[in-house]
Each structure stands twice: as structure tokens, then as C-alpha cells.
Chains A and B, each alone.
Chain A
Amino acid sequence: MDRPIRVLVAKPGLDGHDRGAKVIARALRDAGMEVIYTGLRQTPEQIVSAAIQEDVDVVAMSILSGAHNHLFPKVVELMKEEGADDVLIIGGGVIPDDDIPGLKEAGVAELFTPGTPTTDVIDFIKTNLKR
């Protein structure tokens, strides 16, 4: 691949905890990726439209409010509708173990929970990139 990996780091929903999202954004950037951060309070529609417009390879979402079961699958679904199912979608935050299988089934490639080193996220993206 001759261009850097492009990643949209997104905060869906009303949650204001953005320390994790910002730390991940910086770590990905330091790892040589091009990172666009959406800021807070994005609807799934806004996230998908940003992902398409910015032509990203990865959408990385963070939620700590417990709304992940509603919002993550919604983004995956809208991405599919836009024909962008070659974009890798990952999520992170306070996600109970019980919720992870359902989210993966819905099309979120991987979920990263508290304590995950940023290097794990970087490695995962590099290995699982779909395009």
C-alpha cells in the first residue's frame, strides 16, 4: 500500500468521555496513520458520512456510556447501506464481556476494553485491514 492508513476516530452518542478516543487518535497518528477525529456527540449518520467523505480505511468508535449495543451496530448497518463494507470497524470503551459476541456478530470487527495497550489496537488494524 502506498498511502498511509486512514482512520476516523469517532464518538457516537451523547457520551462526553473522550480521553480514550483522543489517546487512541494520537497513538494511531504516532504510528504513521492519518487520523480524523470527529469530536463529541456524533449521530451514526454523521459518522458514516464523515467516513465516506474522508475515504477512510478504518472507523474506530469509543463509547463509555453503555449505549454501544444501539449505536455500534447502527453505524455498521449504515456503512453497509452506503456500500462501504470494506471499511474495518472497531470499537472501544466500557463494554461488558457479555455484549462482545453480539457486537461482533453485528459486524464490529473487534472490541477493546479498559486497560488495552494502544499497540494492540495498532497491530489489530494493520493485520485486519480490509483494503
Chain B
Amino acid sequence: MFDKEKLDQMQNSRKNWEENTLGKALSKFPERQEEFQTGSGDEIQRLYSPEDIKDIDYNQDIGYPGQYPFTRGAQPTMYRGRLWTMRMYAGFATAEESNKRYKYLIEQGSKGLSVAFDLPTQIGYDSDHSLSAGEVGKVGVAIDSLADMEILFDGIPLDKVSTSMTINAPASVLLAMYIAVAEKQGVSSDKLRGTIQNDILKEYIARGTYIFPTEPSMRLITDIFEYCSKDVPLWNTISISGYHIREAGSTAAQEVGFTLADGIAYVEAAIKAGLDVDSFAPRLSFFFNAHNDLLEEVSKYRAARRLWAKIMKERFGAKKEASMRLKFHTQTGGSTLTAQQPDNNIVRVAIQTLAAVLGGTQSLHTNSKDEALALPTEDSVRIALRTQQIVAYESGVTNTVDPLAGSYYIEAKTKQIEEEAMKYIEKIDEVGGAPRAIDVGYIQQEIMDAAYNYQREVESNQRIVVGMNKFKTEEEPPADLLKVDPAVEELQKNKLIELRAKRDNEAVSQKLEALRKACEGDENVMPYILDAVRAYGTLGEICGVMREVFGEYQQSVRI
């Protein structure tokens, strides 16, 4: 970045500074601790200077926004052109309740919907399944059939909103339901915009809502890639997620490394299935966490963009720039929130919002202050959304693209995270790719070690969490938390009884049989799922057929 003569001069002046100014200060006022660390536990220097970025080439490594290697951003004008999508993840109880919350969020200025499903839905069980007992409508909305989905989006024109659905193992079924609701609204599937999470590998690693074994799961994913590239071309077919990996306890560099390793596995699977890399890669999207160490996080997003661009170009020979451009959604870090003094969480979320925005996110969910205690209330969700709006309209950081670029620390840190993430990818390649590395427990073990380490640092007060292990106060238990009415379960069960009495059960059986044959063969399963959904086959019935053909994933348990 600098010529030799300039660098020599800088080295001399640095030596001079160290011996005189710094030395004097340290002898009188020693620093607070011997060593300083980032939020991820990496050592951080006292000072960064041009010497730390001397090997970085501006044009090659940093470049310009909207252009390879995308270090400075996915689009050329970033937030000067359009702000990120403020997308609040929401859903609970019944489709009726969640529909009300979505309409409220749209009224409050939310631009995209983000659907949270309850656990039975995420694991492909109907609300009346024995394993669903106690879980119906708890962490998200309960969807058993197209009938629920029609209520969920009632009065919301699907050609006007973009919808993100946090759904993985049964993503194909929920996407089919969404397409079917749109049909009923008179909206054709080529107008639909949104995302399905559809990232099964991180379910095995960190999130836990898997159903089928690895191989059929990867097939379902490539079937979706192929189907959408033709019929739902604006849909983001996968959101390759580091969020949950970080929540499970990983470091920032692990978040990047493991997520991109998963991404590589999906690209490889799709290429193996005969797809051209440039036909599906532009629809891949990513999902990252935002933790409290502002500068480390900003560097993390920049590193992820640069590394993915290189991987797509060099490893997979992508030709289109859009295939190399990493777009991502961000959610602030749930695990950073404390149950103690929950108002403090508003401040944490504000810092994390700033990190995501300075890192160039395309969309953002901000957590609410009460999420370490329960699902958020409408009031606390509003504060979380306002936090984004204040950063967007008042902070000024949106007015120029990638404003932290060129900071000696940010550029050095970006490079260091990129290199560390690449080491994890190389290690995973050695093991035989992400699916194999998951099967042998390598990725889970690495994350667990980092999580345990973090816990020990908190308990020994090496790491301060305000209000939890320092600055504690006696406090009253918080009032007015959101409670999901346990009656939801009965309500859903009754809806199912009604549905099964009303629909054409013979047609349902036929469609399910056709789906079974498609699963047993190698045709794309999406059209068959769509047919079963249109006939009001339930999620549990459809996933049940797939369970019978594909079997179920067995987790390898280690601590």
C-alpha cells in the first residue's frame, strides 16, 4: 500500500514514538490489563498503523463497492441508494394473531416480513402429533396446512412485500404454500420476492430443526434451486446462516469459516446435480450475527464478502459478478442479551445495529430488550425497530459508502478474519467437506470449545457483562411479558379436524402417493409438493411421506 521509503520513515517515527512518548506514559501509567482481546478472544494490538496494512493492495483487495471482490459493499451506492430492509422476525400463536402483528409492523414502517414458525412446523409435525404437545404456537406461528397460510397472509398483497421464512427441513413445503397463497391472490410466482432459510447444514451444526439425513436433505435443496431458477426467479432460495453458529458460541472467524464452508457444500451439490453455477449462485444469500465488538463485527462482514467472492470466482469459476456478490441479512445477537437489567439490552442492540450497517447489511432484524426472558411484546419490538430507524435517519453513517474502510485496524482485522476463516475452510476440505465435518462432529466440537471458554471467562470475571457479573443491582422481576395462550394447541387441533372433514381426502391421498413416487425416483419433487399443498394435504402428511422414503437424521451426541 506504501512505497519502501515511506514505510522506512514510518518505522523510524514509530520507534521514536515507542521509545519516547509511549515509554514515558507506560512507566507512569501502566495499561489496565496486560493483554487486550476482541469479543472473539483474539489478541488486539495497542495501535494499528500503515505498517499493518502494507501488504494489502487497494485495487485487488479492497476495491470499489458493487464490484469484485466486494469488500466495500454489495452495491455501488449502498444506503445512499436504498436503506437496508428493516425486517422484524415475528410470529407466534395462531395465524390470526401473527397476521395482526405483521400488519402492525407494516404500519410502523417495516418493509419486509419475516415469519417465525413454531417448532412442530419447523420439524414437520402437525399440531396434533404427540411430539407437538406443549410446543404449538410457542416460538412462532403454527402452520398445519394451506388454510393456515391463507390466514397468515390475509390482506397482505404478496406482490408488494418481500417475505423471509425461517424454515429449513420442510422449506420446500412452506415455499409451496406461499406460492399457493399467491396464486389465490392472483399473483404469479415470478413476482414473488423473499427468502427461505433452507440451510440444513447449520441445523445439524447448531440449530437442531433437522428432519431427514444429509443426502436427501441436500437433494431437496438442489431441487428448490432448480425449481426457483425457472418458476420463482426473484426468490432467494437459501440463506446460508452463520447466525446460529455464532449463537451456539463460535468466534467471529469461525462464523465466517463454517458458514462459507456450508455455502461451498451447497454449490458443490448443485453443480453435481447438473446445474450451471451462474444459474443459481446469484440467488444464494447469507445470514450473519451482530455481536457487541463493533469493529470486529464490521471487519467480519467485509472479510466474508471478499472471501466468498474469491471462492466463487477462483474455486467454482463463476462468470457473473452477481454470483460472486455476497448479500446478507443480519440479526443482532440474542445470546448477548441479559435477563438482568433488560433495559440495557436496548443499548447493546443499538451498537450491534451500527455494526451491521457499517458492515453493509442488506436487511436487519433487531432483537427486543425482553428476549432473554420471553417472546417480545409489541412495545419492545417497536423500540427495536426504532433503533434501526434512528441509525438509518439520524446517525449519519448511511451517507457515505463503507465509511470505515482505510482504517488501519479495520483493514488489518478484515484480512486477519479472512485468513483465519480460510484456515477453517481448508481444514474442512481436508476432512472431506462440510457434511462430513459435521458427521464426525468437528465443527460442533470447535464451537463448543469456544462456547465453554466464553462461559469460563464470564464466570471468572475476565470478561465483563454489565449488569450480569458487574454493576449488579437488586431488581424486581419484569412485568408484562408476552404469554402464548395454551389454548392455541386445542384451537389448531380443532382446525385440523375440520380440515380433514372438509377437504377431498381421496385427492389428498393421490397427491401424496405421487409425491412418494417422486421422492423415490430422481424427479424434482417441488411440483408434487405444490400439488399436495393445493389439495390441502397437511405439513405433517407431506413430511410424513418424505420421512418414510428418506428416513430421519440421527444426531451424533458429544459434549
Q: Does A102 contact B (CB under 8 A)?
A: no
Q: Say yes or no: B119 contacts A13, CB within 8 Å.
A: yes
**Best-surrounded residue of B249, B374, B559 (most CB of chain A within 10 A):** B559
Q: Report which of B139, B448, B452, B555 forms a contact with A39, defined as CB distance below 8 A.
A: B555
Bound-complex Cα distance A27 to B477 (A) = 27
Bound-complex Cα distance A43 to B459 (A) = 32
Interface SS, B side: loop
Interface residues on B, range: 35 or more
Q: Does B464 contact A (CB under 8 A)?
A: no
> Which chain A positions have C-beta within 8 A of B247?
19
> Which chain B positions have C-beta within 8 A of A84?
none
Q: Say yes or no: B374 contacts A94, CB within 8 Å.
A: yes
Q: Say yes or no: A27 contacts B134, CB within 8 Å.
A: no
Bound-complex Cα distance A26 to B132 (A) = 29
Contact with A along B201-217 (1 / 0, CB 8 A): 00100111100000000
> Which chain B positions have C-beta within 8 A of A14?
119-120, 122-123, 125, 131-132, 135, 209
Binds A, one of B34-42, B334-342, B413-421: B334-342
Bound-complex Cα distance A83 to B340 (A) = 38
Q: Say yes or no: A13 contacts B451, CB within 8 Å.
A: no
Interface residues on A, range: 35 or more
Closest residue of chain B to A119 (Cβ to Cβ) is B459
Q: Say yes or no: A97 contacts B452, CB within 8 Å.
A: no
Q: Say yes or no: B559 contacts A15, CB within 8 Å.
A: no
Q: Say yes or no: B451 contacts A22, CB within 8 Å.
A: yes
Q: Does A80 contact B (CB under 8 A)?
A: no
Q: Say yes or no: B339 contacts A115, CB within 8 Å.
A: yes
> Which chain B positions have C-beta within 8 A of A71?
134
From 10 to 29 in chain A, residues with beta carbon under 8 angstroms from any chain B beta carbon are 13-19, 22-23, 25-27, 29
Query: Beyond the given A43-B131, A67-B134, could you list 10 further A-B residue pairs with CB under 8 A, ordered by the A residue number?
Result: A15-B119, A16-B203, A37-B558, A39-B557, A70-B133, A94-B374, A98-B481, A114-B339, A114-B372, A117-B469
Q: Can you list 16 A-B pairs with a CB-CB distance of less than 8 A?
A: A13-B119, A13-B134, A14-B120, A16-B206, A16-B207, A16-B209, A19-B249, A65-B139, A66-B374, A69-B134, A70-B134, A96-B483, A97-B477, A114-B373, A115-B372, A115-B468
Give the 8 A-B CB pairs with smallest separation, nearest first.
A16-B208, A70-B134, A39-B557, A67-B134, A14-B119, A66-B138, A97-B477, A114-B339
Q: Interface of B with A (CB < 8 Å)? A: 119-120, 122-123, 125, 131-135, 138-139, 203, 206-209, 247-249, 335, 338-340, 372-375, 448, 451-452, 455, 458-459, 468-469, 477-478, 481, 483-484, 486, 555, 557-559
